[in-house]
Amino acid sequence: MSSAFPPALSRLIKNLERLPGVGEKTATRFALQILRWPKAQAQELVRSIAELHDKIGLCSICFTFSERDPCPVCADTKRDTSVVCVVENPGDLLALEKAGAFRGRYHVLHGVLAPMEGIGPDQLKIRELLERIQKEDIREVILATSSTVAGEATSAFLAESLKKYGVQVTRIACGIPMGMDLKYADQMTLQKALEARTSY
């Protein structure tokens, strides 16, 4: 479809298609919209993309994306440094921060174990996590990877790797989402929710 377009437009469509969840149709819609923008607005988009790699790096403590090192969370002296919450991606850290329920620090893995795709422990920030356990005064590690097959496998691997360090290792609960009717929950979710029940 895009071959009927001028090469510059096709190139932008191809680049936009690399974004998650963006197919050719959406990419074409985005590209045509950008073309309709005033030039200054398009240039602003280009500038903001260009400065990403110059301005943003990884926090040397938790490995989230940050303009400063350490990141604002790690630099916050009011936070509990004895608890570390392990998440898959910076987006998960952001979601937990928005919820405002956690006052410890984080550790961002930058993915989950996926042996079929060549992603093993060395491709994630796992060695860095084990180094932190030895270096910092950490009492508890909360494993907050997703409840997907890969997320569970990654958590199980981490729990096993952390055993010898004598820290408490916990896993976030998974179960029925707030506001959800029980009868719509799948078997696995119901089973997990029952296992993770709490007493009043």
- The site for Zn ion (CB under 5 A) is made up of 59, 61-62, 70-71, 74
Backbone angles phi, psi at 92, to 5 degrees: -70, -40
Toward Zn ion, which CB reaches closer, 62 or 150?
62
Toward Zn ion, which CB reaches closer, 31 or 107?
107
CB of 66 to Zn ion, least distance (A): 6
CB of 91 to Zn ion, least distance (A): 15
Toward Zn ion, which CB reaches closer, 104 or 175?
104
User: Could you tell me where the beta strands, DSSP code E, fall in 43-183?
Assistant: 57-58, 65-66, 80-87, 104-108, 140-143, 168-171
What CA–CA distances, in Å, run from 164 to 133, 161, 194? Answer: 11, 7, 30
CB of 35 to Zn ion, least distance (A): 39
CB of 92 to Zn ion, least distance (A): 14
- How far apart are the two ends of the chain, measured CA to CA in Å? 60
Contacts of residue 127, defined as CB under 8 A and 6 or more positions apart, other chains included, come to 121
Three-class DSSP category at 22 = coil
User: Could you tell me where the beta strands, DSSP code E, fall in the chain?
Assistant: 57-58, 65-66, 80-87, 104-108, 140-143, 168-171
Q: Are 144 and 87 in contact (CB under 8 A)?
A: yes
CB of 55 to Zn ion, least distance (A): 16
Toward Zn ion, which CB reaches closer, 140 or 152?
140
Backbone angles phi, psi at 36, to 5 degrees: -80, -20
CB of 68 to Zn ion, least distance (A): 9
Geometric angle at alpha carbon 165, from 173 and 152, rounded to 5°? 30
Toward Zn ion, which CB reaches closer, 59 or 113?
59
Toward Zn ion, which CB reaches closer, 28 or 145?
145
